[in-house]
Amino acid sequence: MTPRTWKIGSLFLLLLLAVLVPVLFGIGGPTNLLEQVFAFALFAMSYDLLIGYTGVVSFGHAVFFGTGAYVAGIFLVHSGGSTAGLLMGIVVALGVSVLLSLLIASISLRIRTVYFAMITLAVGQTFYVLAGSQMLQPLTNADDGMTVPLPVWLMHDRTVYYVTLLVLVCCVWLLRLFVRSPVGQVLQGIRENEGRVLALGHSVYRFKAVAFVISGLMATIAGILYVIAQTFVSTGVYDVSISLDVLLMTIIGGVGTLYGGLLGALLIIGAQTEFTNLAGTFPIFGRYTILFGVLYIVIVRFMPRGIVGTVAQALKRWSGQEE
């Protein structure tokens, strides 16, 4: 079996299983968990576009995720959960995402990577503080968060499940087209050797800015999916822990693999849910962040390509495509 055949077969099997989950297990717990996984999987893949394909590290990528969740939530709340409110929220959220990503790119992408990471962290924390401030309480309900009403056609959990799955599949397809395009190839060249790309006459800043905008848009869509699935949004969507969680998902799944974010999100969200359930009986599971830290060290030390990357490399060796 070639790596390409393995990848296509695995993705088709995963999609088939995802489609059949409501049929096999019913709606409720399993579908609610997977709706959250779908949102974070798209978030992780948007982050992989930066770190894995462009070599840009961000510690504040949750600013786009949170903006998508809050803007969509605000429009839904103030429209009484109408379809028009949802559509307006999506359009405005995507517009804000583009403007925000261009602004951050213009002031930070030309500097060294470590300083860029710090700037994104500062921006993310600024939005976290603003969302919980008394000044914006009429919009965000401050630290109490907002319960978000949904349009009538999204009231059924089965509908929400299939909508989030469909959006995820479409976004994965678009991301795949992007990373395989000439622009995506240049971005990978920037990751490997930025100086060489400059010598070839390409504008590194412009290509990084394009990647940052696309990544921000996908993270914003992930935030919209999250608020639709959870029907609640709070300042936690801007917290730095969200950015660190998605970094962990990307690294565990496989940096630069795109699809690794799917597996990473499934493992991390599933583990968080299970550990939380076990914490009442075994208090040590309440400190699951420590366990995640150990897992991170193990993955980086023994599987630097992540799970998907390591399996793909093993298949290449087995098929004789890699010396």
Q: Are strands 146-147 and 232-233 parallel, antiparallel or unpaired?
A: antiparallel
The per-residue pLDDT for range 200-256, each reduced to its tens digit, is 888 888 898 899 999 999 999 999 999 999 999 999 899 888 888 898 899 998 888
Looking up tokens 């903006």, which residue turns up?
67
pLDDT of residue 6: 65
Q: What's the confidence (pLDDT) of residue 46?
A: 94
Cα(first)–Cα(last) distance of the chain, in Å? 17
pLDDT digits (tens, 9 = 90+) for 3-47: 666 667 777 888 888 898 888 888 878 899 999 999 999 999 999
User: Which pLDDT tens digit goes with each residue over 114-165?
Assistant: 777 888 888 888 999 999 888 888 888 888 889 999 999 998 889 999 999 9
Residue-wise over 25-45: b if at least 16 C-beta within 10 A, else e?
eebeeebbbbbbbbbbbbbbb
d(CA 243, CA 229): 19
* Whole-number pLDDT of residue 153: 92
Q: Percent of the chain at pLDDT above 70?
A: 94
pLDDT at 323: 42
Token code pair at residue 104: 């951050």
In angstroms, how far apart are the furthest CA atoms of the chain?
62
320 or 197, greater pLDDT: 197
What six digits make up the tokens of 306?
A: 């992540």
Query: Whole-model pTM above 0.85?
Result: yes
What does the pLDDT read at residue 3? 60
Identity of the residue numbered 96: V
Q: For 267-292, what is each residue's pLDDT tens digit?
A: 999 888 888 877 777 777 677 777 77
pLDDT tens for each residue of 44-102:
999 999 888 888 888 888 999 999 999 999 999 999 999 999 999 999 999 999 999 99
Question: Is residue 1 pLDDT above 60, yes or no?
Answer: no
- DSSP class of residue 232 equals E
Q: Helices (H), strands (E): how many in the chain?
A: 14, 2
Task: Please say if the pLDDT value at position 2 is more than 80.
Answer: no
Rounded Cα distance between 204 and 55, Å, is 12
